[in-house]
Chain A
Amino acid sequence: RKEVEQDPGPFNVPEGATVAFNCTYSNSASQSFFWYRQDCRKEPKLLMSVYSSGNEDGRFTAQLNRASQYISLLIRDSKLSDSATYLCVVSASNDYKLSFGAGTTVTVRA
């Protein structure tokens, strides 16, 4: 079983729509959670960290559900520039390595 699993998508949405997707993680000892964004043939870049109480950063909202071991990302009022692959990333408390999901592809159309 993969450590981090994501729905690969693609999610095709019109501009202005809301899109949300989850990822699940298998290691109950995971303590740190992140969403990274990766544009086509580019390097991953940190989008936001995910905190236990959930957090917002502009149009992006991240939630963590420890009991069910999943993380979600919601994008409101989506823009064309939001088109990318979103990588779910977790790290265990005693481990410096990051475990990446394979990514969820979002395409925002005009």
Chain B
Amino acid sequence: AQKITQTQPGMFVQEKEAVTLDCTYDTSDPSYGLFWYKQPSSGEMIFLIYQGSYDQQNATEGRYSLNFQKARKSANLVISASQLGDSAMYFCAMREGPNFGNEKLTFGTGTRLTIIP
């Protein structure tokens, strides 16, 4: 089974609208971490936001927030007030197990977001 599933290969969104990028995950480990990265056409993977499995509140970082629904095993990224510069590939990733000693991140296949002026 896929560990990380991103079901939207591509999305087109009008500028200034909010965007939700879907991510579901599969793990039996009670301790895990979820990450979102942005990859513009230049290639660099830019870290956006992190959610730990034991975190009580949904993570937020500026215009980014993570809609963490543990029971559904989903960790959707929400971008408020989208901007043209948000056009990029977005990857969801998971680290299974606690921080210490767990180096492997499993990435999804990504969603290509295009913001339309």
Is the pairing of A and B real?
no
